[in-house]
Amino acid sequence: MSVMLSLSGVTAFYGQIQALRGIDLTVEKGEIVTLIGANGAGKSTLMMTICGNPRARSGSIVYQGEDITQCAMHDIARKRIAHAPEGRRIFPRMSVEENLLMGAQVVKFADYDNQLALMFDLFPRLKERINQRGGTLSGGEQQMLAIARALMSKPDLLMLDEPSLGLAPLVVKQIFGAIRQLNRELGLTVLLVEQNAYQALRLAHRGYVLVNGAITMQGEGAELLARPEIKAAYLEGGH
């Protein structure tokens, strides 16, 4: 397997406050990697730093052999890294199709219809709601839309920030099922940030645990799941 994304010694700040402390992380091609950690541990910041906002203050981020540490946010998105940000952030007044079209900024117009058909296969619900306004969708549908919108750019790497946020367990299952399907059938590489550690570690090949902006543990998903300290910190009190 080849390395898709690697971070070494990445630090990031919000003003004076250090949010990331020397992060080393790799994502191999075709892997699902998850980042788990408590609120405020820096999971979303890490994901945003890969996207270029905030910029990494030191260290380097290499994506498919290319150093993207200093790239502008929209340039990074054009390198086939798709990012579905925290809180879904769909365009509420635009229709489902317009939302998907916005995700297809990077692809050639000929590919648009194929991508659209692919998304409708993956999330048939979106096809039913094609002309509906994004803001009127249910939470689960909005999350599907956010993922589909990110996937419209035919990414090599998909970064998902808390896709299970505020969703019913059954819907979370559907979404995670779709992620697994994408990974198995299309070989899509996925970097997943999750609060829902149990589900995420079961889905992922490998996982990293983030505490206070630094990685404290890493390992295979099932292995992490079995560790007592993980159980104590993230898994007690329900899934």
Partner 1 sequence: MSDVRSAQGGRDTLIRYIRDAGGVGLLALAIFVPFIGLRLHGETNGLVLHYRPKLLVIGVVLAMLARLLVLIWQERRVHQGRAAWRAARVASAGKYVAPALLASAALLPLVPGIANFYIDLGVLVMTYVMLGWGLNIVVGLAGLLDLGYVAFYAVGAYSFALLAHYFHLSFWECLPLSGIFAAIWGMCLGFPVLRLRGDYLAIVTLAFGEIIRLVITNWISLTGGPNGIYNIPHPTFFGLNFNLGGGPGTFSGFFGIDPDPKQLTTYLYYIIFFLALLTNWVTLRLRRLPMGRAWEALREDEIACRSLGINVRNTKLTAFAIGAMFGGFAGCFFATRQNFISPDSFTFIESATVLAIVVLGGAGSQLGVALAAVVMIGIPALLQDLSIYRMLFFGLALVIMMVVRPRGFVSTRTPSIALGKRQQISSELMSEGHG
**Least separation, in Å, of the C-beta of 232 and partner 1?**
32
The answer to whether 89 contacts partner 1 (rule: CB under 8 A) is yes
CA-based max dimension of the chain: 51
The angle at the Cα of 202, spanning 201 to 208, to the nearest 5 degrees, equals 15
* Sites for partner 1 among residues 207-226 (CB under 8 A): none
Given candidates 2, 65, 93, 237, which one binds partner 1 under the rule CB under 8 A? 93
Q: Does 139 bind partner 1 (CB under 8 A)?
A: yes
73 contacts partner 1 (rule: CB under 8 A): yes
Query: CA 29, 191, 34, 4: dihedral to nearest 10 degrees?
Result: 30
Q: Which is nearer to partner 1, 147 or 197 (CB)?
A: 147
Taking the complex as a whole, how short is the minimal distance between the CB of residue 89 and partner 1, in angstroms? 4
Q: Residue 151: how many CB atoms within 10 A of its CB?
A: 24
Which tokens hold the place of 191?
A: 């970097």
* Member of 2, 16, 39, 131 binding partner 1 (CB under 8 A): 131
Within positions 111 to 130, which residues make up the interface with partner 1, using CB under 8 A?
Answer: 130
3-state secondary structure of 216: strand
| Of positions 12, 69, 83, 201, contacts partner 1 by CB under 8 A | 83
Distance in angstroms (rounded) separating the CA atoms of residues 112 and 46: 30
User: 22-46 burial by CB neighbour count: b if 16+ within 10 A, else e?
Assistant: ebebbbeebbbbbbbbeeebbbbbb
Residues that bind partner 1 (CB under 8 A): 51, 53, 72-75, 77-78, 83-85, 89-95, 97-98, 101-103, 105-106, 130-131, 133-139, 149-150, 153, 166
